[in-house]
Amino acid sequence: MIDPHLADLRKTYAQRTLSEADVLPEAVPQFRAWLEEALAAQVDEPTAMTVSTVSAAGQPSSRVVLLKGLPDDAGFLFYTNYDSRKGHELTAQPLAALNFFWPGLERQVRVEGRVEKAPETMSTEYFQSRPRSSQIGAWASPQSQVIGSREELEAREEAVAEEFGAQDPLPRPAHWGGYILRPTRLELWQGRPSRLHDRIVYELEGATWKRSRLAP
C-alpha cells in the first residue's frame, strides 16, 4: 500500500550543474573544494557524514559521525571508541563507506575505501584538545554496550571525574582514537531537474584517479 503522505513528497533540484570540466583531477582535493563551499554557505552540520561498516556476517550498519580532517588530501579522518560496534567491525573488515548530504546545496558525496587507525600521536593531540567534559565522557561510556539506565551512565561519569580530579587534560584512553579512510572511489552528486542528476565518479587505478560520468 502506498502512503500518499510519503509518496507525494518530492523536491525539484535546479540550483547548479556539474560537468567534467568543473572538477579537479584528484578526488580528495575536489571534496575539499566542495566542503569549503558548504562551509561558506553555512549549511547545517557540513562535516556530518554517515559511516557504514559491515559485520563478519555481512550485516551492514550505519551511523552519523563528524569529519575531523583530510590528512594530506589523501584520507578522511574521524574519531570514535575502538570498542564500539563500528570499531569491532572495522577490526574484522577494514572497509567502510561514507556519505555526505548537503540539502542546501543539493549535493551529495559518496566515498568508499580502506580504513586504518590514525597515528596515536594524532589521536592523543585531538583527544586532549576536546572539552574536558567530552574527555570524561570518552572514559565513562562503554560505547555500543548495553547499560542498565541513564543513571548508571551518569554515575560512571561522576566516578571518572572524581578519579581524575582537577587533572586537565586527561590522558587518552587506549580504547579511543582516530580512523583514516583512504578512498578508492569517490562520487560527486549534484541534484538536477526531472531526477536527471549529475554524477561524476573518481576511481583509483594504481596511483591515478580516473573520472567518469554515471547515469542518474
Residues belonging to the active site: 195
C-alpha cell at 199: 554524477
DSSP result, 185-201:
EEEEEE--GGG--EEEE
- What single-letter DSSP state applies at residue 27? H
The identity of residue 97, as a single letter, is A
Q: Which residues share a beta bridge with 65?
A: 49
Q: Which residues share a beta bridge with 100?
A: 109
Element of type H or E holding 66 = strand 60-66
Element of type H or E holding 127 = helix 120-127
C-alpha cell at 32: 575539499
The identity of residue 108, as a single letter, is Q
165 touches 146 (CB < 8 A): no
End-to-end CA gap in the chain: 26
